[in-house]
A and B are shown apart, each in its own frame.
Chain A
Amino acid sequence: MKRARGFMHRLLASIRRDDREDFTAELETHLQLMIEENVRRGLSPAEARRAAIHRLGGTESIAESWHDQRVLPLLDTVPRDVWFALRRLTHEPGFATVCVVTLALAIGANTAIFSAVNATLIQPLPYPAADRLVQVWETNPQAERWGDWASYPDFEDWSRASRAFDGLALYRNARLRLTRGEYPEMLTAVRVSPSLFSVLRVDPMLGRSFLAEEGRPGRTDVAILSYGLWQRQFGSDPTIIGQSLPLDGRNHVVVGIMPPRFDFPTNLQPSARPPDVWIPVVPDTARGSHSYRVIGRLKPDQTIVQARMDMERVVRIVVDLDPGHRGRGAAVEGLQHHTVATVRPSLLLLMGAVVLVLLIACANVSGLLLARGATRQREVALRLALGAASSRVLQQAVIEGIVLALVGAAAGLLVAHAGIRGLVELAPAVPLVKDASLDVRVLTFTIVTALATGIVFGIVPTRQALRLEANDVLKEGGTRQAGGARVSAIRTAVTVGEVALALVLSIGAALFLRSFANVRSVEAGFDATGVVTAFLAAPPTDATDVPRTVQFFERVIARLEQVPGVSAVAASSAVPLISNETSPFRVEGLERAAGQDLAHAEQPKVTPGYFRVMGIGLIRGRTFSESDVRSGEPVAIVSKGFADRYWPGGEALGKRVAITDGTWRRIVGIAQDVRNDGLEASAKPTIYIPFGQFPRASISLVVRIERNSSVTMTALRDAVRDVAPTQPLFGVQTMEQVLGASLSLRRFLMVLIGIFAGIAVLLGLVGVYGVLAYLVGQRRQEIAVRLALGATRSEIVRLVAWRGVVLGSVGVTLGLAVSVAFSRVLEGTLFGVSALDPLTYLLAPALLLLVVVAASSLPAWRATRVPAIVALRSE
């Protein structure tokens, strides 16, 4: 109570005007009364006065401590110190600019990277209690199957028997043709179980979500629209609810509109178009068709581990009912955790790299402050001698550091703002990164970083000054700086650290550069140059009839081949890096034990020209021809990997395989392996089926453009419209774009680590230059004396440059040790190069050492220019 009252008084006194004068007046009265008393005692007025002043002592220091007690010292002194620091910075514009720019780059880069980390790894998904959301998929170690998919019957089994979830939902992406107005529009659609919206806990903004039975045969077709589509196509007309919409030729009743920012599931899928419409999924019974993703919401009292145990129980029940399930399992992972699993190591690596950059920047600014601090030691010593508390001196220095760092951080936010936009551009392959922004958490990160760096800046140089005896400094006088040797030693140590960190980053950058080059030179198995792809669906009237579907696409292909500049056109149900068609298969004579699941393979359905257009080489046998139709013999072409696997060392030609339709197909050709899932993934075993024998209603067209000619997209669209006015060509892109996009994460890593390494080397160079220039400045007189005594210029150069070489060598050795120690961190993210690649570990240090020597040559040269007169000056 008493204490609280005291605090309030002090707080008020801090805000009110300075009343030290008041106290001085009081002390003056005190003095006068003492003098009067002394006079009464019989002293002469002069003596009385002297005696009183002697008793009273220095009133200044009493007034100072009285004031400190009267107010809250921090509140009183901090604004003064801030003001003082700002004034000092404006008086040294060069110094201030270098510091602020260095800090702005480092803090800005840290803020930008942290905002990406924040958006992907920290920020929860934009749904209520998003940490309860999980993804569930079927595993089967015996079947060679990949991905995190589930089949519709899986979903039904799990929904029925599991106890760990408040709800499960499934979805798959689809395309739907909206025929409204003059041109048909291809919509990004999502087929979902009606439970999806309740699992995510997001309700439509208008209307309702799906009813449990919607999607089952016999029910009216319904659809929920995205806010974007509603605005774009219907001018935000609320009466659209209840109206019919022709989607893929069938009328769907609009039952709801989702809120503006709802874009599940494409927010989880980098570089996907936001969804336009959600429609109920149609139940199926195809156990082998793993084309859905399943998400669930854990019950409040359930953990992921408990959910995994629950799913094990569910799988056992299903196996008991249906022995065909033997060997299967189910995986459960946090939805966000699973979504960002592939990019997490890269992002954390970048965060680590950018923190190193910040450390180097701190070292640099500390070095500058140390050098300046040395010239300020006399000032500090003087203040200490005049009775300033050392805590006050330190406080002022720390505040100066913080002010500097905060100014740097403010400029850094501008850098970060531009950086974030660059990041999002550069990293289309990183899920959720689109939401990166300067939110409260990122700003907090920036401010805390700035404060921490500022405190370091302030304390380090000033502690240095405080440790000196005030007397020594004052005695030395002149321009000689006391403690110069020690300052120089500290700066040297800091610079060695900078060189070491710069080497760590350079080695990292070199390894990522080599990885990128390695990925680029990987044999993709197809020739991307000059190939354009696009999606096209057969009209509903033709799609239900097999011969008519085949004829439709034949007509489109024939028409496209007439477009000038087009050399060949083909179609496939799956194109490398764009789409998959993964299904089980059987090999004749290699029957699996009953109850074992079937192995999976890619099974694209391709037209005869496909291999030629895509540049996929045929190793043996023949390619498909126009005569491989339904009435002909069922045939297939397999990839080399597939043939080697099932007939190692033997002959695959003439053997038979069966895919989902169960027909035995004779292998007539063996094709080169193709890296279907990207250059960094291995080639998947592939069985090619003639389109004429197994047509699909929607396909990817591949168009090879003649060398040195260009074909506009409009020309392709117009050609398709001639044949199929109702069917839009969509998703048009060149294969080279597709290939480029598949490398974007790697390019992103390489570019950023490269930039960071560049900044690090630059800062290290400035650091080395600074410490040597300081050294030369300190030893001017000595150098002049040496020159006067006959030392040659080359000896002087060696004297200075040698310091640079020693400094560089120690730094490089330290950096090598650190790189080796942390090389394991990189292992998972490199491609085709060891984390301890000898070439990199030889070249990077050598180059860095060269840079260090270059940085030391200017101060060394300057040392030889010291005029002889300096030797004579007594300081």
Chain B
Amino acid sequence: MGEKREVWQGTLALMVLRTLAVLGPQHGYGIKKRIEQISADMLAVNHGTLYPVLLKLEQEDSITCKWGVSENNRRAKFYRVTAAGRAELEKERRHWERTGEIIARFFALNGESS
């Protein structure tokens, strides 16, 4: 297996939302670790990409944040998905499912050449 792949921004936002929706409030480092774990370390989340995405989601009211204390007693900023964020996530999920379906149909095509 080659290099880890960088996540591109649009899908990263989706992953962040899904992670927060499933696992509940998380700090930035936690989100990064979860996403890397879930992708079975196929993805590398750079903090230079992550924090701008968090800020964008926050500005769109999809998530909110609050300072709290982490599991090992550190002050950390915890992000939580909002109702608007869940609605957005649902919309995105349907969009991805449909996109996946369409793409799948194309790969299912049996041409003469294949």
Nearest CB of chain A from residue B104's CB, rounded to whole Å? 29
Known: A5-B60, A29-B75. A66 touches B29 (CB 8 A): no
B47 CB–A CB distance under 8 Å: yes
Contact residue among B27, B48, B56 (Cβ-Cβ distance under 8 Å from A29): B27
In the complex the two chains form, is A62's CB within 8 Å of B75's CB?
Answer: no
- Give the residue name and chain of the B residue nearest to A59 (CB): B47
Task: Report Cα–Cα, A62/B52, bound state, in Å.
Answer: 9
Contact residue among A5, A36, A70 (Cβ-Cβ distance under 8 Å from B55): A70
List, in ascending order, chain B residues with CB within 8 A of A5's CB.
Answer: 59-61
Task: Report Cα–Cα, A203/B76, bound state, in Å.
Answer: 76
B70 CB–A CB distance under 8 Å: yes
In the complex the two chains form, is B55's CB within 8 Å of A26's CB?
Answer: no
Interface 0/1 of B69-83, CB less than 8 Å to A: 010101111000000
- How many B residues face the partner with a CB closer than 8 A? 19
Interface centre among B48, B52, B58, B59 (most CB of A within 10 A): B59
- Give the residue name and chain of the B residue nearest to A67 (CB): B55
Contact residue among B48, B51, B52 (Cβ-Cβ distance under 8 Å from A57): B48
Task: Report Cα–Cα, A25/B76, bound state, in Å.
Answer: 8
Q: How many A-B residue pairs have CB under 8 A?
A: 52
List, in ascending order, chain B residues with CB within 8 A of A56's CB.
Answer: 47
Known: A5-B61, A69-B56. A30 touches B75 (CB 8 A): no
Nearest CB of chain A from residue B47's CB, rounded to whole Å? 6
Give the bracket for the number of chain A residues in contact with chain B: 20 to 34
Known: A26-B77, A29-B75, A29-B76. A9 touches B59 (CB 8 A): yes
A27 CB–B CB distance under 8 Å: yes
Contact residue among B29, B52, B58, B60 (Cβ-Cβ distance under 8 Å from A30): B29
Known: A6-B60, A29-B77, A30-B28. A66 touches B70 (CB 8 A): no
Contact residue among A2, A6, A25, A69 (Cβ-Cβ distance under 8 Å from B75): A25
Known: A5-B59, A9-B59, A29-B29. A66 touches B51 (CB 8 A): yes
Nearest CB of chain B from residue A235's CB, rounded to whole Å? 69
In the complex the two chains form, is B74's CB within 8 Å of A62's CB?
Answer: no
Task: Report Cα–Cα, A5/B60, bound state, in Å.
Answer: 6
A10 CB–B CB distance under 8 Å: yes
A479 CB–B CB distance under 8 Å: no
In the complex the two chains form, is B59's CB within 8 Å of A10's CB?
Answer: yes
A466 CB–B CB distance under 8 Å: no
Nearest CB of chain A from residue B50's CB, rounded to whole Å? 9
Nearest CB of chain B from residue A21's CB, rounded to whole Å? 13
In the complex the two chains form, is B74's CB within 8 Å of A29's CB?
Answer: yes
Task: Report Cα–Cα, A36/B48, bound state, in Å.
Answer: 20
A220 CB–B CB distance under 8 Å: no
Task: Report Cα–Cα, A65/B27, bound state, in Å.
Answer: 20
Task: Report Cα–Cα, A386/B92, bound state, in Å.
Answer: 40
Task: Report Cα–Cα, A10/B59, bound state, in Å.
Answer: 7
In the complex the two chains form, is A69's CB within 8 Å of B55's CB?
Answer: yes
- Give the residue name and chain of the B residue nearest to A8 (CB): B59
A23 CB–B CB distance under 8 Å: yes
- Which residues of A, 30-50, contact B by the 8 Å Cβ criterion? 30, 32-34, 36
Known: A25-B75, A29-B74, A29-B76. A6 touches B59 (CB 8 A): yes
List, in ascending order, chain B residues with CB within 8 A of A26's CB.
Answer: 28, 51, 76-77
Known: A29-B29, A29-B70, A33-B74. A65 touches B52 (CB 8 A): yes
Interface 0/1 of A55-75, CB less than 8 Å to B: 011000010011001100000
Task: Report Cα–Cα, A26/B78, bound state, in Å.
Answer: 10
List, in ascending order, chain A residues with CB within 8 A of B76's CB.
Answer: 26, 29, 33
Interface centre among A26, A27, A36, A56 (most CB of B within 10 A): A26
- Which residues of A, 1-28, contact B by the 8 Å Cβ criterion? 2, 5-6, 9-10, 23, 25-27
In the complex the two chains form, is B51's CB within 8 Å of A23's CB?
Answer: yes
List, in ascending order, chain A residues with CB within 8 A of B47's CB.
Answer: 27, 30, 56, 62
List, in ascending order, chain B residues with CB within 8 A of A70's CB.
Answer: 55, 59
- Give the residue name and chain of the A residue nearest to B77 (CB): A26
Nearest CB of chain A from residue B49's CB, rounded to whole Å? 10
List, in ascending order, chain A residues with CB within 8 A of B61's CB.
Answer: 5, 9
- Which residues of B, 38-96, contact A by the 8 Å Cβ criterion? 47-48, 51-52, 55-56, 58-61, 70, 72, 74-77
In the complex the two chains form, is B52's CB within 8 Å of A69's CB?
Answer: yes
Nearest CB of chain A from residue B9's CB, rounded to whole Å? 12
In the complex the two chains form, is A6's CB within 8 Å of B56's CB?
Answer: yes
Interface centre among A29, A32, A69 (most CB of B within 10 A): A29
Task: Report Cα–Cα, A10/B29, bound state, in Å.
Answer: 24
List, in ascending order, chain A residues with CB within 8 A of B70's CB.
Answer: 29, 33
Task: Report Cα–Cα, A817/B94, bound state, in Å.
Answer: 71
Task: Report Cα–Cα, A399/B74, bound state, in Å.
Answer: 44
Nearest CB of chain B from residue A31's CB, rounded to whole Å? 9
Task: Report Cα–Cα, A5/B84, bound state, in Å.
Answer: 12
Nearest CB of chain B from residue A829's CB, rounded to whole Å? 62
List, in ascending order, chain B residues with CB within 8 A of A57's CB.
Answer: 48
A-B contact pairs, 8 of them (CB 8 A): A5-B60, A6-B56, A10-B59, A27-B51, A29-B27, A30-B29, A32-B74, A36-B72
